Amino acid sequence: MTAPRALPAPHATPLDLGGRTALVTGAAGGIGRACALRLAAAGAEVRAVDRDAAGLEALAEAARGAGGAVEPHVLDLTDLDAAELAAAGTDVLVNNAGLQLVRPIEEFPPDVFHTVLTVMLEAPFRLIRGALPHMYGQGWGRIVNVSSVHGLRASAYKSAYVAAKHGLEGLSKTTALEGAPRGVTSNCVNPAYVRTPLVEKQIADQARTHGIPEERVLSEVMLRDSAVRRLIEPEEVAEAVAYLCGPQASFVTGTSLVLDGGWTAH
- Of 174, 177, 172, the C-alpha closest to 256 is 172
Sign of CA pseudo-dihedral 208, 220, 33, 241: negative
pLDDT at res. 237: 97
Does residue 82 belong to any structural domain of this protein?
yes
| Inside any domain, residue 262 | no
Q: Is residue 105 part of a domain?
A: yes
Q: What is the domain-level CATH number for residue 26?
A: 3.40.50.720
pTM comes to 0.91
Q: In this structure, are residues 161 and 105 in contact, taking their beta carbons and an 8 Å threshold?
A: no
For residue 265, tell me if it sits in a domain. Answer: no
Task: Give how many domains the chain has, as a whole number.
Answer: 1
In angstroms, how far is CA 224 from the centroid of its own chain?
23
Question: 243 catalytic, yes or no?
Answer: no
What confidence score (pLDDT) does residue 239 get?
Answer: 97
Indicate whether 2 belongs to any domain: no
What range defines the domain where residue 52 resides? 21-252
- Which alpha helices (DSSP H) does the chain contain, by range? 30-41, 53-65, 80-86, 110-117, 123-138, 159-179, 197-210, 217, 234-245
Rounded mean pLDDT for each run of 10 residues along the chain, 266 residues in total:
55 84 98 98 98 98 96 98 98 97 96 98 99 98 98 96 98 98 98 85 81 84 87 95 96 97 90
Residue 258 lies in a domain: no
pLDDT at 30: 95
Residue 195, φ and ψ in degrees, nearest 5: -75, 85
Within a domain: residue 193? Answer: yes
**Exactly one of 136, 157, 161, 193 is catalytic; which is it?**
161
Q: Is 120 helix (H, G, I), strand (E, B) or coil?
A: helix
Q: Is residue 15 part of a domain?
A: no
